[in-house]
Chain A
Amino acid sequence: MPQSHAWPRRPLLAGIAALPLFAIRRARAEEPYVLGTLFPMAGPNAEYGTIFTAGAQMALAHIAEDKMLSRPIVLRAEDSQGTPQGGAVGMSKLVNVDHAIYVLVGFTGVSKAAAPIAARAKVILVNGGGVGPDLAGLSPYYWNVIPLAPDEIRTIVPYLASQNLRRLAFIYINDPFGNGVRQSLKAELAKVGGSVVIEDAILPTDQQFGAIAARIRDAKPDAVYFASYGAQQAEIIKQLRDSGITLPLVTYSGANIPSVETLPEAEGLVLTTQASALSSDDPVTQRFVRDWRAKYGTDPTAYNQNYYNAVRLFALLTASLEKAGKPVNGDTLRAELLARRRFPLVGGEGVFDDLCDISMKIVVNRVEKGKLVPLT
């Protein structure tokens, strides 16, 4: 007589009871990591928002291709409108509604308004655009993946001295960034026997520079250094050239955007940027440059590189935490960053200090036919 094929009841019931647990565990495994962006996406600084976002998006594509993490990443974007108030509202939504654990940010006022909210929620804020020295150590959860202004000045001044350009005219925005550049520039020039022979403080909204050009002509400097950002940079270059200033124009990485580099008047502009992502031979950099050119048909800017690095840094840290079976949150990400310090990023190895600020090699470039040509 054939035996009936009865299922044992207890294991069956236990299995049924455990099903929701499996479902929860699976759901958790598939729950994405939420990254946020808090950039100006409309108005005069929207160009920056677009550039920053494109770098982050390429990093996300590479992380997914490489299956670096066990869970997917989703990107939530908020328009900061480039204002502290817009930044605070956007940050509140990213933290409280989207539950972002890692947010990319880029402007000083926005950074300072968002930083207290990020610190309260223990969410990491990563800057890859602002270079003002006051952005260092804003909070334990505020990191910089861009070398700050003094690093660029320490590179450009010896180069200018080697070209016998020691007497500078200086135009700067009267804000912490501009004042930081001013302080560093004067200190570094003094070391090489140079000086600022004329200086003009401007507002970010200023659009007329004809009078400044006239004063510069009278002062007869060797070169003009300007520290501005956004669309104003193009106006400064155009109006100085239109006013007959043929002196070398020198600036920092803020001019590493298409609207400046492709300007006919910007031909010959000398600017510092991080070590060129284009020339490095490490596989991370080569892949970034190759895929960027394939997708956009242009060379990436330093800002594209920085926000790519910001997202790649998240993946590297999170992969380590996952491997160690640790939770992924602001505290564990920070602890992991400070424990490792050195990361393979686009442009070379990025090294972080105690304030979670990166240092990378800075190079001097010249704009030639709309492209950056390294000089050092």
Chain B
Amino acid sequence: MISYLVDLGQLVAIFGLLAASLNLLVGYAGLFSVAHAVFFGLGAYTAAHLALAVSPDLLLGVLAAALLSGAASLVFALPALRVRGEYLVIASLGLQMLGSTVFTEAQGLTGGYGGLAGIPAPSLFGWTLESREALLAAALAILILAQFVINRLMRGSFGRSLMAIRDSESAAESLGKNVALIKTLAVALGSGLAGAAGALFAFQESFVNVESFTLDQSVLILAMVIIGGAGTLAGPLAGAALLLLLPAALSFIPHLPPTEIGAVQQLIYGLAMTLLMIFRPAGLLGRSEGGG
């Protein structure tokens, strides 16, 4: 049972980091995206290749994944500088489709649907993290570090500028804020952190393929941010924990016939999400409308 909880804990830490990275765009910058799984995937493939061909060093994998995803995010920054709201969502949808197609077709790099298998256990400072607990500790450490950085940034001038742009882009611009630069930096930082989460995911699963970086995954990440509470530090973590642990908890429902297990779990899961949004529209830890 402990091993199972450790496995779930790893996923919660990885998706918590992923949701926190999207929260930078959605919650603080007001840039809605359904293409975040692309940057998550880029990071995962980068770390997987490095681990298979060069070294399974965790820090190397995470840093390389973050850098590559951050750099690649410029393709998302371009539409983000020009459009907002629902138009940006459509632009990001196109990017997600593009990313999924590249992941599928570039079989020499990604293995397509066959993916990259046999990713070795990561190492850290020369120590191989064979145990699941060690990888959980590493993922939690990276998550805490990322949350610390996000917290400091959002409390500083960068964060205030970002939120000013979210609330009124033209007003921020009239006050002399470099909107293009701030938006680009936010996109690069959010995507870079998504890449870091992807690297951890590759080591956690030991296998990556395109099925983990689809539009469904992007929607799930967005749901984690919205359900947890966009624009808050802890909200995305709560959203990630809820959306990952609720299906796991539902799998313990006793006496379900094997052929009905999926349908019953999906029904309860869908109902719970709907009720949550009716009674907590700002998310689990989100501020209410009047709460500022």
Residue positions of A touching B, CB distance < 8 A: 37, 40-43, 46, 49-50, 53-54, 57, 75, 77-79, 81, 83-85, 88-90, 92-93, 95-97, 108-109, 112-113, 115-116, 132, 134, 138, 173-177, 179, 203-204
Contact = CB atoms under 8 A, between A and B. Distances in A.
A43 B256 CA distance: 18
A83 B220 CA distance: 14
B262 A42 contact: yes
B121 to A, nearest CB: 10
From B2, B261, B266, residue with most partner A Cβ within 10 Å:
B261
B207 interface: yes
B104 A96 contact: no
Nearest to A85: B212
B167 interface: no
A37 B258 contact: yes
B251 A78 contact: yes
Contacts, number: 107
B7 A49 contact: no
B3 A92 contact: yes
Interface string B82-118: 0000000000000000000000110100001111011
A174 B105 contact: yes
B144 to A, nearest CB: 23
A84 B212 contact: yes
Interface in B199-237: 205-209, 211-212
From B11, B209, B256, residue with most partner A Cβ within 10 Å:
B209
A274 to B, nearest CB: 23
A108 B212 contact: no
A164 B273 CA distance: 57
Given A43-B262, A75-B258, A116-B207, 13 more contacts: A37-B258, A41-B259, A41-B260, A46-B262, A49-B259, A89-B7, A93-B4, A109-B113, A112-B115, A115-B207, A132-B114, A174-B113, A203-B104
B90 to A, nearest CB: 19
A35 B212 CA distance: 27
B205 A88 contact: yes
A37 B2 CA distance: 21
A79 B11 CA distance: 17
Contacts of A37: 258
A95 B4 CA distance: 8
Contacts of A113: 205-207
Contacts of A54: 259
A305 to B, nearest CB: 18
Nearest to B7: A92
B1 interface: yes
Given A85-B205, A175-B112, A50 B4 contact: no
B272 interface: no
B265 interface: yes
Nearest to A91: B7
Contact of B262 (A79, A83, A92, A174): A79
Given A93-B251, A113-B207, A175 B258 contact: no
13 contacts: A41-B260, A46-B263, A77-B256, A77-B258, A77-B261, A84-B212, A92-B3, A92-B4, A93-B4, A97-B1, A112-B114, A116-B207, A203-B104
A112 B251 contact: no
Given A85-B205, A89-B11, A93-B4, A108 B113 contact: yes
Contacts of B205: 84-85, 88, 113
A352 B175 CA distance: 75
A53 B266 CA distance: 19
Interface in B234-284: 248, 251, 256, 258-263, 265-266
Nearest to A75: B258
Given A43-B262, A89-B7, A174-B105, A84 B113 contact: no
B8 interface: yes
A355 B137 CA distance: 36
B263 A175 contact: no
Contacts of B251: 78-79, 90, 93
A78 B250 CA distance: 11
A323 to B, nearest CB: 29
A333 B47 CA distance: 35
